[in-house]
Chains A and B, each alone.
Chain A
């Protein structure tokens, strides 16, 4: 579109009145706003002492967990859909024949490299049995790279830590267990 196009509407800045041209009333107005904020409530969360409130843990994308079913077995059926969906290639699964009659395979090892992960939630979307989920734990720290590669035991332990505060999403959302 050109600037001389007839459909362009030219809008003038509103003309300043006398008080606007005087500057001082505007300064006092501005100072009033700043002073109000100076003593107003503060938004800062003093992090280690005070935890930030997470609006909706169901849609928060934090550290992963591997869900367990009612019998305490890992829900994963080693279908590799999450590893395929993962854009960062951070999921590594080794499948083995299942010792249980209700499925063919289960995961012998399930590893997520949390340093490569971009927390996009695609694994959670892809999982057909709701085994891998993202929790609302966000303060993920470690002292070495090896420590940040989460294996199956660690991912299951994240489930044990968070299962009370955050029940399995499939249950909450009303899907079949």
Chain B
């Protein structure tokens, strides 16, 4: 019992330390990529304190953290004091608690560690059968942190940010859920270890067998993590800072860390559910019971490289794409992503139901090809029939409206401006 709790504590310490350092350094990476994409150099001055060693600016997160710690912990007079403090705590707690069921590697071999006679699974709480449901329950709790912060701030920008966030998270929960049901149907288990095990055993990552589900999940992850092009909850050009407008000091940094943790969680889930987790052909092997030390370490490295790549992709998308308008965001969720998710779900369900017959007729390659065909047809159909594209065209009848309002003595638009 004691050994198990020590093992769990060590894993928690590793994970927490890794995540917090990771979140801090991803802020630096985000600033670097932002700078490089805009043809700037980015933060490259802060290095070892009190020396002239610059280290490409790797000391920046430390300096940022210190700055936040020494800032005044200001609570505006008009806020609800209890909820104002509770909101960032709840969002960070929920964001961290998710990592209980997310594997950060495969298993360690039996031999080699003194005093341990079993394989150590690199996951804080191994063998939880409701893993995925737990993740989605907790990621929905994140919306409480956001909306509580917005409400408790007692400010219109915060409230608008909170409301937008709740609407957005609830809308994108559905396509995300549908994409996950596809994976769960194929695996037959809600445990993330089993999802990776299935992909490793067959050698076909879910992204290849369910391309439509993969795209839907990636888009929904962007929306759930409130990253550009879906960062409406904190759209700084419209809402000052969104739900954390009134926050400063440590409570603000707790919010910011939680946001980065959401992005890291999303990358973990994309990597694990769709990109094979720790599996890579020819390097990591595929067995979860017999592992060498080389394989065990290679698996951790492969998983981390995948997550790093996805996060870089997140950051590149941020600088490639403008923000959606709110109605575009909603129509994308309800009119495009939800039907596409249903198509994917039905296709996967048929595949699972008639697997032996299909496999004998088409072969594994044929099944994958037909899934790609279905995805392509559904995507083109969505492009033609659903409002994927923007509808910014000026309406020609706007001057009729304006003439009417002028007759009534009202002016709804500025002169010369088309509505």
- Residues of A at under 8 Å CB distance from B? 1-4, 10, 12-13, 16, 18, 20-24, 27, 30-31, 33-35, 37-44, 46
Chain B: minimal CB distance from A89 (Å): 39
Whether the pair A3, B418 counts as a contact (CB closer than 8 A) is yes
Chain A: minimal CB distance from B340 (Å): 12
Which of A18, A21, A34 is the one whose CB lies under 8 Å from B37?
A34
Chain B: minimal CB distance from A28 (Å): 10
Closest CB pairs A-B (n = 4): A30-B320, A3-B399, A21-B383, A44-B41
Whether the pair B388, A43 counts as a contact (CB closer than 8 A) is no
Known contacts A30-B320, A30-B321; 11 additional CB pairs below 8 A are A4-B402, A10-B396, A13-B393, A16-B389, A20-B389, A21-B383, A22-B379, A22-B380, A33-B320, A37-B38, A37-B39
- Residues of B at under 8 Å CB distance from A? 33, 35-41, 215, 316-317, 319-321, 379-380, 383-384, 388-389, 392-394, 396, 398-400, 402-403, 415-416, 418
Whether the pair B402, A3 counts as a contact (CB closer than 8 A) is yes
Whether the pair A42, B41 counts as a contact (CB closer than 8 A) is yes
Chain A: minimal CB distance from B180 (Å): 21
Residues on A with C-beta less than 8 A from B394 are 10, 12
Whether the pair A37, B398 counts as a contact (CB closer than 8 A) is no
Provide the main secondary structure of the chain B interface: helix
- Identify the closest chain B residue to A11 (Cβ): B394
Chain A: minimal CB distance from B383 (Å): 4
Chain A: minimal CB distance from B158 (Å): 31
Chain B: minimal CB distance from A54 (Å): 20
**Bound CA–CA A2/B406 (angstroms):** 11
Whether the pair A3, B416 counts as a contact (CB closer than 8 A) is yes
Whether the pair B383, A27 counts as a contact (CB closer than 8 A) is no
28 A–B pairs (Cβ distance < 8 Å), ordered by A: A3-B398, A4-B400, A12-B393, A12-B394, A13-B393, A16-B389, A18-B384, A20-B389, A22-B380, A22-B388, A23-B388, A27-B321, A30-B320, A30-B321, A31-B316, A31-B317, A33-B320, A34-B316, A34-B319, A34-B320, A38-B33, A38-B36, A38-B37, A40-B39, A42-B40, A42-B41, A43-B40, A46-B41
Residues on B with C-beta less than 8 A from A38 are 33, 36-37, 316
Residues on A with C-beta less than 8 A from B398 are 3
Chain B: minimal CB distance from A8 (Å): 8
**Bound CA–CA A78/B380 (angstroms):** 80
Whether the pair A4, B403 counts as a contact (CB closer than 8 A) is yes
**Bound CA–CA A21/B321 (angstroms):** 15
Chain B: minimal CB distance from A69 (Å): 45
**Bound CA–CA A20/B394 (angstroms):** 19
Residues on B with C-beta less than 8 A from A3 are 398-399, 402, 416, 418
Chain A: minimal CB distance from B376 (Å): 10
**Bound CA–CA A43/B394 (angstroms):** 38
